[in-house]
Structure 1
Amino acid sequence: MAGGSLSNVNDIDKTVLSAASSMKPFLLAGKSAKQYGLENAGKAYILYNASPNAIDLDLSKNTGKFNVKVLNTRNGKVLKEEKINGGAIVKLNKVAAGDEVLIINKI
Structure 2
Amino acid sequence: MTVKSAELIKTVFAKGEYPPPMKREIAFAGRSNVGKSSLLNSLFGRRLAKTSSTPGKTRSINFYGVNGEIYFVDLPGYGYAKASMSEREKWQRLITDYFESREGISLVVLLVDI
- TM class, shorter-chain normalised? under 0.3
The structure showing larger relative contact order (alpha-carbon pairs under 8 Å, at least 6 residues apart) is 2
Where is the helix percentage greater, Structure 1 or Structure 2?
2
TM-score (norm 2): 0.24
- TM-score (norm: length of structure 1): 0.25
Structure with greater strand share of residues = 1
